[in-house]
Amino acid sequence: MIRNPSLFKTMTNFTCEEFEELSQLVCPVIALTARTTGEIRGLLGRQPKLSPQQRLLHFVLYLKHDNTVIFDSHCWNWSKSSACDDALFVASCINTALAHEIRWPSAEERRRLAARTDFKGCLGFIDGTLVEIRRPSSKRLSDRHQMWYNGRKSMYCVNNTVIVDHDGLFIYIDPGYPGSFHDVNCLRRSELYQNWREYFEHTDQYFEYLLGDPGYIGEEMFVMHRIRPRTVRPGQQMDAVDAFNAVHGGMRVRVEWGIGGMKRKWRKLMKKFDCTIQKFPHYFRACAILTNFIQRRRLDMTATEMNAAPDDNDWDDEDNVE
């Protein structure tokens, strides 16, 4: 595959150079960590059948293609249990080695993001996304299948909160909520909601927020949603409301593009996910991290930030304060 770069990119989503860089960051963690205990590997014991780079490639192919674990284990001459356990282990190694790929912007970065659109102070876009899973067993109270059934979609699924910035990068994810939960219910149980003042700056002259759909009604302290026609007071100009909603929807759709792009890259998220509820957040976070890893290296982020540098005088204008 490496001898044919175009085939390698088609099969893995990575160019040869990108996968080599990914291997240099993740493979040392895979090689030094024991899969069963999670501690530093000792000198004794049986060595893994595959090399760290092969194990990383196996995980990428597992996420990329709509294959079953039986098919993947057959290709690598592994047992099904070993393929499942190692995929989860590699996902945890990726989440540890590349945890910085998903990070909330610093105060300076938030200022740059807030000045890039007509919505002054907008840092990004928030939405929830569903991933279909198998019907959970009812052995434990927390795994009752009624909690994970979404009546609107008529499927068992997991709900995940996702925040995307203006460049399509994931800056916050909170996966693993039952499919019956509404998006706003997932948000209210997140660490972002509990400590939202640490994530957003709110002063009399400047405030930061996210753009979201009307499902986040009631959380206007940091989520701005479009105006519903039934909430418009008599005498207000509907043309202005329609114009606001049009601009709002045109910008907020970027979170849909971000989620769709991630699911398009990793087709495991587009099928009925064949793992337990406890393991799913590790896979979802690894998919988001790998998506950011690819996106950052294919965007000139330095040029983007320089062009988006805010003007300090913009926030002194009375129109912006209003």
Q: Which pLDDT belongs to residue 23?
A: 96
Q: Which pLDDT belongs to residue 317?
A: 39
Q: Which pLDDT belongs to residue 300?
A: 62
pLDDT higher than 50, residue 316: no
Q: Residue 276: what are its φ and ψ, rounded to 5°?
A: -75, 165
pTM for the model: 0.86
pLDDT bin (cut points 50, 70, 90) of residue 14 is very high
pLDDT bin (cut points 50, 70, 90) of residue 142 is low
Distance CA 228, CA 261 (A): 29
pLDDT higher than 80, residue 311: no
pLDDT higher than 60, residue 193: yes
pLDDT higher than 60, residue 136: yes
Instruction: Identify the residue with better confidence: 226 or 180.
Output: 180
Q: Which pLDDT belongs to residue 37?
A: 75
Least confident of 54-58, 64-68, 163-167, 209-213: 64-68
pLDDT bin (cut points 50, 70, 90) of residue 160 is very high
Least confident of 100-104, 106-110, 145-149: 145-149
Distance CA 258, CA 100 (A): 18
Task: Dump the DSSP string for 111-150.
Answer: HHHHTSSSSTTEEEEEEEEEEEBPPPPSSSGGG-TTTTEE
pLDDT higher than 50, residue 268: yes
Give the number of other Cβ atoms within 10 Å of residue 77's Cβ.
Answer: 8
Of 60-64, 239-243, 267-271, 291-295, which one has max mean pLDDT? 291-295
Burial of 29 (0-12, 13-18, 19+ CB in 10 A): middle
Pairing mode of beta strands 155-164, 223-224:
unpaired
Arithmetic mean of pLDDT over the chain: 85
Measured in Å, how far apart are the chain's first and last C-alpha atoms?
A: 57
Instruction: Identify the residue with better confidence: 25 or 36.
Output: 25
pLDDT, mean of residues 99-103 = 95
Least confident of 238-247, 285-294, 295-304: 295-304
pLDDT, mean of residues 195-220 = 90
pLDDT higher than 90, residue 36: no
Distance CA 280, CA 9 (A): 26
